[in-house]
Amino acid sequence: MAGEVGPPSRDKERDGPVVPLRNPGDAMSVETEQSIATMRMPAGLGGLLPALTLIGLFFVVPVLALLLRSVTDPAPGLQNYAALLGDGTYARVFFNTFLVAAVVTIVTVLVAFPVAWMLAIMPPSLASVMFGIIILSMWTNLLTRTYAWMVLLQRTGVINRALMATGIIDQPLPLINNLTGVTIGMVYIMLPFMILPLVGTLRAIDPMTLRAAALCGASPFQAFRRILLPLSLPGIAAGGLMVFVMSLGYFVTPALLGGTSNMMLAEMIAQLIQSLLNWGLGSAAAFILLIATMALYALQLRLVGARRATGGI
Amino acid sequence: MKLIFAGILAGLLATTAAKAEDMVFTSWGGTTQEAQTKSWAEPFSAASGIKVLQDGPTDYGKLKAMVDAGSVNWDVVDVEMDFAIKAAKDGLLEPIDFNAVPKADLDPRFTTDHAVGSFYYSFVLAWNKGTVSGEPAGWADMFDVKKYPGKRTFYKWSAPGVIEIALLADGVPADKLYPLDLDRAFKKLDTIKSDIVWWGGGAESQQLIASGEAAFGQLWNGRVFALEKDGADVGVSWNQNLTAADVLVVPKGAKNKDAAMKFLAAASSPTGQAKFAEASGYAPINTKAKAEMPADAVKALPDAHVDGQINLDMNYWAANRDAIAERWYAWQAK
């Protein structure tokens, strides 16, 4: 694993296919690869200073303030954490948060894999166009996209009306205000974050290995299971963990497409802070979420190494 | 680099300086805030020269954060009355300067040391005439899924209203509502829980009913009034309509307190209240306002439906807000 952090020249070989992720427009240009390799050269602490100051001032300090509040508001002690971990409702919200994140991650992997494979084997010019389309969806406002899903999924929405008009169903399907709605909305938003690292990994796989497998008599399924899947696991792990971690903290989509029984942690925190003004409890919940997220990230680093953990991004 | 920072800093200072004579009014957005802007802010600015900037939606967490941090950007905020009572107790609000705000004609039900009424409203039962056959007569019908199938929409947040509706529907007499029997209310709500769609804001409630996504709902009367004005096919029952109020408050440490008090005087004046009531369908909190309103506008107000009207107990809610909220959200999350 230590070998992952190698000299730039090795990076170019290993991470070459990842470069298009940053800039699909000039996917294969050598300059881009080189400029990125240069950027990765250690630039000294001086160059890092503005970024570190920014993170220190606007992330570390508030997080410490959050931690402090969680153990001092309304009185010093761990009562906020005890309340969160000992109460059935909060436990349900925690469980729900992890459940939704897990379901979303699994579905995202299943949907993203074929897309990523197509992108990996497509001619680069066509792939750039496809990348453009995928990236474009990320540029559209999150709230707008979520409202669009509301219009599509609600009982009187486009999907239900079409299905009822064609006689396939006679009662509207419950597609919104439940786990189905949350999953659909979130998978859609998470897809690019899964596809991008996955394409990088898949491109690095030599297509000849598949041909060799076929020549040795492997069925397409065997070739997929024994060759393609194992080789693409780092990409799946990288994308999957990123999607999982991002899903844990999601707010807008579950709030709009889920029901009250699908409440996730972020919504609960907002409620505690905004309507109940229980900042101590809200801070404790936020801190637990942060710890869970960081633990997962640490796990990812251990499992797949720093470079691959971020999918090369 | 330094030059850029200096430039940004100067720019920031300049904007703050320019805003020094202005004030910020914060409310809930949508058709209500539009009416407040037209009826209060615009005439007030024209008369006083004080520019009123609009912000929103009201967010109690933000209000508390501003006061705690000593950096209050809001000068007048429209809040629910039970919150105002609690917030005054918690030291989040400035006392009202009744030398600047004439008190004599203000409805005493909605005036406190720290708040002046904004408007008062009723929760009414509204339905989409296209999806509901027949005329639901009252809250009990919202709990009768056999007679009236379809989704029902209720206010999502823990606030006066839904608990009372469940108790009334379960047969609790109006004068025996308080103290609220929460066990009984949640048991009643359990019977229709899977048919409930929650609305978090006024515009959402309008959209749910107008589209037929929900067949019935507990709506603010002003939002139904706006739907009717827009020609939506909605029915409304005023039977056992539940009144509650919004009030205007000045957060502790507001930067433009004097302007805020002047604004409150204008907003609560007979003319300001009459104009807003006419535009919104919400009732005025100034007893002289109705004399300035056209007769047909007065008919649309909650005051025209005092028969069977129930006043939600703001003081009870202010005292029990946190305890009820805890149970409310726990029940919702189940």
CATH number of the domain at B233, please: 3.40.190.10
pLDDT score of A193? 92
Residue B171 has pLDDT above 60, yes or no: yes
Range picked from A198-202, A206-210, B124-128 for highest mean pLDDT? B124-128
CA distance, residue A96 to nearest chain B CA (Å) = 10
Q: Indicate the DSSP class of residue A17.
A: G
Residue B133 binned pLDDT confidence (cut-offs 50, 70, 90): confident
Which pair of structure tokens corresponds to residue A21? Answer: 């992720």
CA distance, residue A260 to nearest chain B CA (Å) = 5
Q: For an interface test with A, give the residue of B2, B155, B332 to mutate (most A CBs within 10 A).
A: B332
Domain contains A45 = no
Cβ burial, residue B58 (10 Å; 0-12/13-18/19+): buried
Q: What's the domain range around B15? A: 2-120+245-304
Residue A310 binned pLDDT confidence (cut-offs 50, 70, 90): low
Residue B287 main-chain phi, psi, to 5 deg: -65, -15
- Chain A residue at shortest CA distance from B156: A260
Residue B56 has pLDDT above 70, yes or no: yes
Cis peptide before B160 (omega within 30 of 0): no
- Chain A residue at shortest CA distance from B207: A151
Residue A258: its chain B contacts at CB < 8 A? none
Please state the domain count of chain B: 2
Using the beta-carbon criterion (under 8 Å), do A260 and B156 form an inter-chain contact? yes
Minimal Cβ distance to A177: which of B61, B197, B326:
B197
- Both B203 and B313 in a single domain? yes
Percent of chain B with pLDDT over 70: 94
Residue B198: its chain A contacts at CB < 8 A? 259-260
- Both B44 and B184 in a single domain? no
Residue A88 has pLDDT above 60, yes or no: yes
CA distance, residue A72 to nearest chain B CA (Å) = 15
- Both B160 and B296 in a single domain? no
Using the beta-carbon criterion (under 8 Å), do A156 and B60 form an inter-chain contact? no
Domain contains A33 = no
Which pair of structure tokens corresponds to residue B83? Answer: 């919150």
Percent of chain A with pLDDT over 70: 82
Which pair of structure tokens corresponds to residue A67? Answer: 């931690």
Interacting residues of A308 by C-beta distance below 8 A, sequence separation 6+: A4, A234, A235, A237, A238
* Residues of B at the A interface, defined by Cβ within 8 angstroms: 59-62, 64, 151, 156-158, 197-198, 211-213, 322, 325-326, 329-330, 332-334
Residue A271 has pLDDT above 50, yes or no: yes
Residue A15 has pLDDT above 80, yes or no: no
- Both B323 and B212 in a single domain? yes
Q: What is the mean pLDDT of residues B128-139?
A: 91
One-letter identity of residue A253: T
As a whole number of angstroms, the distance between CA B95 and CA B112 comes to 9
- Please list, residue by residue across A225-250, b when 16 or more beta carbons sit within 10 angstroms of its beta carbon and e when fewer do: eebbeebbebbbbbbbbbbbbbbbbb
Minimal Cβ distance to A274: which of B60, B156, B330:
B60
- Both B192 and B225 in a single domain? yes
Domain contains A204 = yes
- Chain A residue at shortest CA distance from B87: A277
Question: B52-55 and B23-26: which strand pairing?
Answer: parallel
CA distance, residue A285 to nearest chain B CA (Å) = 15
Q: Which residues pair with B125 in a beta bridge?
A: B218, B237
Residue A21 has pLDDT above 60, yes or no: no
Q: Does A277 contact chain B (CB < 8 Å)?
A: yes
Please state the domain count of chain A: 1
Query: Which strand (E) or helix (H) includes residue A209?
Result: helix A207-215
Residue A276: its chain B contacts at CB < 8 A? 322, 325-326, 329
Cis peptide before A74 (omega within 30 of 0): yes
As a whole number of angstroms, the distance between CA B299 and CA B303 comes to 8
Q: What is the mean pLDDT of residues B144-162?
A: 93
As a whole number of angstroms, the distance between CA B62 and CA B64 comes to 5
Q: Are B226 and B35 in contact (CB under 8 A)?
A: no
Domain contains A271 = yes
- Chain A residue at shortest CA distance from B324: A276
How many residues appear in chain B?
334
CA distance, residue A71 to nearest chain B CA (Å) = 18
pLDDT score of A42? 53
As a whole number of angstroms, the distance between CA B13 and CA A147 comes to 37
Domain contains A241 = yes
- Both B276 and B315 in a single domain? no
As a whole number of angstroms, the distance between CA B258 and CA B50 comes to 11
Minimal Cβ distance to A89: which of B60, B62, B333:
B333
Predicted confidence (pLDDT) per residue in A36-76, tens digit? 444 454 556 778 888 999 998 998 999 999 999 999 988 89
Q: For an interface test with A, give the residue of B60, B329, B332 to mutate (most A CBs within 10 A).
A: B329
Residue B210: its chain A contacts at CB < 8 A? none
CA distance, residue B59 to nearest chain A CA (Å) = 6
- Chain A residue at shortest CA distance from B326: A276
Q: Does A273 contact chain B (CB < 8 Å)?
A: yes
CA distance, residue B102 to nearest chain A CA (Å) = 31
As a whole number of angstroms, the distance between CA B55 and CA B146 comes to 44
Q: Does A177 contact chain B (CB < 8 Å)?
A: yes
Q: Are B331 and B186 in contact (CB under 8 A)?
A: yes
As a whole number of angstroms, the distance between CA B235 and CA B127 comes to 5
Residue A140 has pLDDT above 90, yes or no: no
Minimal Cβ distance to B325: which of A155, A263, A276:
A276
pLDDT score of B277? 95
Cis peptide before A62 (omega within 30 of 0): no
- Both B192 and B126 in a single domain? yes
Using the beta-carbon criterion (under 8 Å), do A261 and B334 form an inter-chain contact? yes
Q: Indicate the DSSP class of residue B283.
A: B
Residue A86: its chain B contacts at CB < 8 A? none
Residue A268: its chain B contacts at CB < 8 A? 329, 333
As a whole number of angstroms, the distance between CA B82 and CA A303 comes to 52
Residue B234 main-chain phi, psi, to 5 deg: -120, 145
One-letter identity of residue B24: V
Q: Which residues pair with B78 in a beta bridge?
A: B248
Percent of chain A with pLDDT over 90: 37
CA distance, residue B19 to nearest chain A CA (Å) = 26
Using the beta-carbon criterion (under 8 Å), do A275 and B325 form an inter-chain contact? yes
Using the beta-carbon criterion (under 8 Å), do B211 and A156 form an inter-chain contact? yes
Q: What's the domain range around A274? A: 73-309
As a whole number of angstroms, the distance between CA B320 and CA B109 comes to 19
pTM of the model: 0.78
Residue B115 has pLDDT above 70, yes or no: yes
Residue A190 has pLDDT above 60, yes or no: yes
Question: B216-220 and B116-128: which strand pairing?
Answer: antiparallel
Residue B145 has pLDDT above 50, yes or no: yes
Residue A263: its chain B contacts at CB < 8 A? 332-333
**Distances from the Cα of A51 to the Cαs of A44, A187, A313, in angstroms?**
13, 32, 17
Q: What is the mean pLDDT of residues B128-133?
A: 91
Q: Among all chains, which residue has been given the structure tokens 């993203």?
A: A112
Q: Which residues pair with B251 in a beta bridge?
A: B93
Interacting residues of A52 by C-beta distance below 8 A, sequence separation 6+: none
Q: Does A253 contact chain B (CB < 8 Å)?
A: no
Residue B14 binned pLDDT confidence (cut-offs 50, 70, 90): very low
Largest separation between any pair of C-alpha atoms in chain A: 71
Residue A312 has pLDDT above 80, yes or no: no
- Residue B46 CA, chain-centre distance (Å), reads 26
Q: Does A51 contact chain B (CB < 8 Å)?
A: no
Predicted confidence (pLDDT) per residue in A90-137, tens digit? 888 999 999 999 999 999 999 999 999 999 988 989 999 998 988 888
Residue B325: its chain A contacts at CB < 8 A? 275-276
Query: Which strand (E) or helix (H) includes residue B137?
Result: none
Interacting residues of B178 by C-beta distance below 8 A, sequence separation 6+: B313, B316
- The CATH number linked to A127 is 1.10.3720.10
Q: What is the mean pLDDT of residues B291-311?
A: 91
Q: For an interface test with B, give the residue of A260, A261, A263, A269 to mutate (most B CBs within 10 A).
A: A260
